[in-house]
Amino acid sequence: MGLVRAVALNTFREAVRDRVFYNLLLFAVLLVGASLVIGQLAAGQDVKIIKDLGLAASLLFGVGIAVFIGIQLVAREVERRSVHATLSKPVSRPTFLLGKYVGLLLTLGVNIVVMAVALFAVLAVYGALTPPGVQAIWTAPALDPRLLAALALIYVELAVVTAIALLFSTYSSALLSATFTSAIWVAGHFVGDLRAIEQVGASGATAWGAWLVSWVLPNLALFDIKAEVVHGMPVPAAQVLASVGYGIVYSAAMLSIAVAIFQRRDFK
């Protein structure tokens, strides 16, 4: 575990020094702040818009960090040939990959925390400036604790996307890895539609192929509870825990495949 921690901390420091991380984080925080202005344009829906835009910004910019930094975790090491020096030390290939993964998770954790602080700060200011009579018609308070559950599931989704990005980076170029990871992230939100394709008239090989693909792709819709949180609907704890468990299992599967591929790769 000591070697994993060393690789993870080194990866975290590299990611934090990366300009992409700062640019994405800055734009994300600005978007959360801009939601306060946008919310003023929709009477009666203002607090919902602020929450929705804040959560959406946390997800979109987090995915940007996971993809654009995640695909470089291995590719950049190989291109610089620094991977030879790292693996020549008492660092196994599984330890190297796991450390890279944990390092990026730390980076994403910092991103989520900063976004959460920015979002709650905006909501606190807005709540303080809103008359009690207006707040009485809100379906949920401005500082709704359920926002933390939504942010936690966003983080789990980012962990899954990072594992996928790391998998592709073990054998493909940075451009292709980014393309494949982004495509899977988009497709992962439509898994439910693929599983229901028989209900719209598809049959035979088409239905079977869609069913198979739907179970291979990550079901990212499980992590999306933004609508429930924004509209003040209840979110069962069992649902959140089941989604977290699914994310952990899927990420572990992707990492296992990545390790198997990385073990066979020849860097000569």
Q: What is the pLDDT of residues 94-126, one digit of tens each?
A: 888 888 899 889 989 988 888 888 888 888 887
Is the pLDDT score of 234 beyond 80? Answer: yes
Query: Looking at per-residue confidence, does 126 or 165 come out higher?
Result: 165
Average pLDDT over residues 150-157: 95
Question: Helices 72-80 and 146-169 sit at what angle, rounded to 10 degrees?
Answer: 30
Residue 60 scores a pLDDT above 90 = no
Give mean pLDDT, residues 193-200: 62
Q: Where are the alpha helices (DSSP H) in the chain?
A: 2-17, 19-39, 46-70, 72-80, 82-88, 93-129, 132-135, 146-169, 174-188, 191-195, 204-216, 226-230, 237-264
When mean pLDDT is compared across 169-183, 187-201, 248-262, the lowest value belongs to 187-201
**Do residues 127 and 135 make contact, with C-beta atoms less than 8 angstroms apart?**
yes
For the cut 90, the answer to whether the pLDDT of residue 160 exceeds it is yes
* Mean pLDDT for the chain overall: 80
The residue that leads in pLDDT, 164 or 138, is 164
At 246, the pLDDT band (50, 70, 90 cuts) reads: very high
Q: Which of 265, 71, 77 is nearest to 177 (CA)?
A: 71
Q: What percent of the chain has pLDDT above 70? A: 75
Give the per-residue pLDDT at 255: 93
**Residue 18 scores a pLDDT above 90:** no
Q: For residue 136, what pLDDT is reported?
A: 75
**pTM exceeds 0.85, yes or no:** yes
The pLDDT value given to residue 57: 84
- The per-residue pLDDT for 43 is 53
